[in-house]
A and B are shown apart, each in its own frame.
Chain A
Amino acid sequence: MAEQIVFFIAALLAIAGALGVVLLQNPFYSVLALVGHLLALAVLFLMLRAEFLAAAQIVVYAGAVMVLYVFVTAYVGGSDDPLRPQGGAIARIGPLFALALLVEITVAVTGSGLAALDTHGARVEPGFGSPAQIGQLLLQKFLVPFEAASFLLLVAAVGAVVLARRRRGLEDSDGGGEPAGGVAV
């Protein structure tokens, strides 16, 4: 019984956070709503016996990535951003698409032949989802994806530095290597 209560509270918080991200006008509040959403999701991960991922979700996502968002939002200026003007066709059709997809997935899940969907899941040993098990899987069964992910992170870091660099400073040191149209001030 306590499990159901925790699930419904966390699920309601997660959906409320998601709606807040989409509906709030100020991007800064959207970021804060996403932090609440991520914390609620971490509780759900714990209920699914994914303790390491719940901790990683809080530390990496709600901690590091959201701080990045807050910095960029403060830098760019959280201007109030109206939803699409009434004339936009996508603004009217977009939510309909989302609703259609939701109905589709719900029908697919409830009508699926997966008998295990209506159970609590398979019986698992006590160490399931612990850092030890995740580490063992990462370094034995999934070594190649693990290395690829680390390389991807390196590429993304270098790419972000290249994208966000000061172009004018670079042009000066290059001696005008870029075309004159490169900087529009």
Chain B
Amino acid sequence: MDIAWFVILSAFIFCIGMAGVLTRRNPLVILLCLELMLNAANLALIAFGRMHGSGDGQIFALIVVVVAACEVVVGLGLIVAIYRRRLPIDVDELSELRG
């Protein structure tokens, strides 16, 4: 398969994730859509690494996976904290930084 196909596919997935981040209101689903965007970036990184025949792109993708895991842990911790406060789980309602 040509590398361009993989890059176009990653653009598709990235844009679907972006549409989800912009339109959904549940922070859980927004985190899921962020995962989609990060994975699309991973696919592009690996495709370009394959294009150049070097392993560096795969290392970048691995670091992105680590950063995504950190983001998930902190984001889910925030959601659990919001839930404990009996606040609505809705990003439109939660528009202030103070609890």
What residues of chain A have their CB less than 8 Å away from a CB belonging to chain B?
A: 3-4, 7, 11, 14-15, 18-19, 21-22, 27, 30-31, 34, 37-38, 41, 44-45, 47-50, 52-53, 56-57, 60-61, 64-65, 68-69, 72-73, 75-76, 79, 81, 83-84, 90-91, 93-95, 97-99, 101-102, 105-106, 109-110, 114, 116-124, 128-129, 133-134, 137-138, 141-142, 145, 149, 152-153, 155-157, 159-164, 166-167, 181-185
A94 touches B22 (CB 8 A): yes
B15 touches A152 (CB 8 A): no
Q: Which of B20, B78, B86 has the most CB of A within 10 A?
A: B20
- Which B residues are CB-close (under 8 A) to A27? 26, 28-29, 32
Contact of A19 among B16, B50, B71 (CB under 8 A): B16
Q: C-beta contact mask, B61-99 vs A, less than 8 Å → 1, else 0?
A: 111011111111110111111011111011010000001
- Which B residues are CB-close (under 8 A) to A7? 1, 5
Instruction: Give the complex CA separation of A91 and B85 in angstroms.
Output: 28
A18 touches B36 (CB 8 A): yes
CB-based A-B contact count at 8 angstroms: 254
What are 26 A-B residue pairs whose CB atoms fall within 8 Å in the complex? A18-B13, A21-B17, A22-B16, A44-B6, A44-B43, A65-B68, A65-B72, A69-B31, A90-B22, A93-B22, A95-B22, A102-B11, A109-B8, A118-B2, A118-B3, A118-B4, A120-B1, A122-B52, A122-B53, A137-B59, A141-B56, A149-B63, A156-B74, A157-B73, A164-B84, A185-B86
